[in-house]
């Protein structure tokens, strides 16, 4: 059901705060924060966040389409978003992603960097809470959806934490890692739960798994051919607080994000062009792009290329430009 309600904003502080907070659980945040962590903070932290993020998000997206709990009715709520309205509500994947990313970042860094434990805990809690509240404010979820999403994410994080080091070691060293990193996500995407109508959940899941697959292959290649994690000290800049470091950090980020965005644009057009030629549909045909045989390969190839570029090519470019 489309959002056709008109509304008047009476409190612009809350409006912009929660609209911004909602964006922290979407692609624009993933495509900037996760690469930023890899380029500027710590490779091991980034790897663990991507592992947790991809697993949590896959389980959350699939759970939505299995449970099929509706979103809040409008009216009485006013829905401030359009794109995700076609999805089911329980659990809130915004809440799941925010909880997974903030607390996995906190857990992965608390023993590696010197900062007050309480400060890190409060920061993770505030970040996840703002995203959770934004889903209520925008009318996209019920309180139960949000609480359920946060709790499921917390449980998964607790279950995954003891296996972090083992999973990380296997992804870096196993000769089967590149093959499994591509095959397993593709199988999961092609066997995604079917719905009676189109929902963006399958496409979003393919985007997430594709990006994680490309990044994982990049981690493996880097460990074998560039900078072995277990043979030398892993790259670690730490939290950039000095002005001189900030200049390098910003330069590294803008160079990297430019490459990432160009890769996404180029691969999207190339892959859609090839699929359009193969399946005989115009590249701008939205209905054709939603078909399983088109949506999965186009999004998976596009975002796995983004993940690979971010972890392999961008660091090489940084080194070439003297930003390493």
Q: What is the 3-state secondary structure (H, E, C) of the chain?
A: CCCCCCCCCCCHHHHHHHHHHHHCCCHHHHHHHHHHHHHHCEHHHHHHHHHHHHHHHHHHHHHHHHHCCCCCCCCCCCCCCCHHHHCCCCCCHHHHHHHHHHHHHHHHHCCCCCCCHHHHHHHHHHHHHHHHHHHHHCCCCCHHHHHHHHHHHHHHHHHHHHHHHHHHHHHHHCCCHHHHHHHHHHHHHHCCCCCCCCCCHHHHHHHHHHHHHHHHHHHHHHHHHHCCCCCCCCCECCCCCCHHHHHHHHHHHHHHHHHHHHHHHHHHHHHHHHHHHHHCCCCCCHHHHCCHHHHHHHHHHHHHHHHHHHHHHHHHHHHHCCCC
Active-site residue, from 141, 169, 224, 318:
141
Q: Has 318 been annotated as catalytic?
A: no
Active-site residue, from 43, 94, 169, 318:
94
Q: How far apart are CA 56 and CA 44, in angstroms?
A: 18
Q: Has 94 been annotated as catalytic?
A: yes
Q: How far apart are CA 71 and CA 74, in angstroms?
A: 9
For the annotated catalytic residues, the residue numbers are: 94, 141
């Amino acid at each position: 059901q489309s959002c056709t309600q008109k509304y008047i904003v009476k409190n612009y502080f809350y409006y912009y705060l929660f609209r911004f907070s909602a964006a922290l659980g979407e692609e624009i945040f993933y495509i900037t924060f996760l690469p930023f962590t890899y380029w500027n903070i710590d490779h091991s932290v980034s790897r663990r966040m991507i592992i947790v993020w991809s697993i949590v998000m896959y389980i959350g997206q699939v759970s939505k389409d299995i449970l099929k709990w509706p979103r809040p009715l409008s009216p009485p709520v006013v829905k401030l978003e359009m794109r995700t309205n076609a999805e089911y509500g329980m659990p809130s994947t915004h809440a799941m992603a925010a909880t997974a990313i903030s607390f996995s970042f906190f857990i992965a860094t608390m023993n590696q960097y010197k900062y007050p434990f309480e400060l890190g805990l409060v920061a993770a809690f505030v970040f996840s809470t703002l995203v959770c509240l934004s889903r209520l404010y925008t009318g996209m979820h019920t309180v139960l959806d949000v609480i359920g999403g946060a709790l499921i994410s917390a449980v998964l994080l607790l279950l995954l934490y003891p296996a972090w080091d083992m999973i990380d070691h296997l992804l870096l060293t196993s000769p089967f890692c590149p093959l499994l990193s591509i095959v397993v996500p593709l199988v999961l995407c092609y066997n995604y739960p079917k719905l009676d109508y189109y929902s963006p959940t399958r496409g979003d899941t393919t985007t997430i798994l594709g990006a994680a697959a490309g990044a994982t292959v990049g981690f493996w290649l880097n460990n074998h051919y560039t900078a072995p994690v277990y043979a030398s000290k892993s790259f670690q800049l730490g939290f950039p607080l000095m002005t001189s470091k900030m200049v390098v950090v910003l330069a590294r980020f803008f160079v990297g994000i430019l490459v990432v965005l160009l890769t996404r644009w180029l691969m999207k057009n190339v892959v859609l062009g090839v699929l359009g030629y193969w399946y005989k549909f115009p590249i701008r045909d939205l209905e054709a792009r939603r078909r399983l045989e088109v949506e999965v390969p186009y999004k998976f190839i596009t975002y796995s290329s983004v993940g690979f570029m971010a972890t392999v090519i961008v660091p090489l470019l940084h080194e070439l430009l003297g930003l390493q």
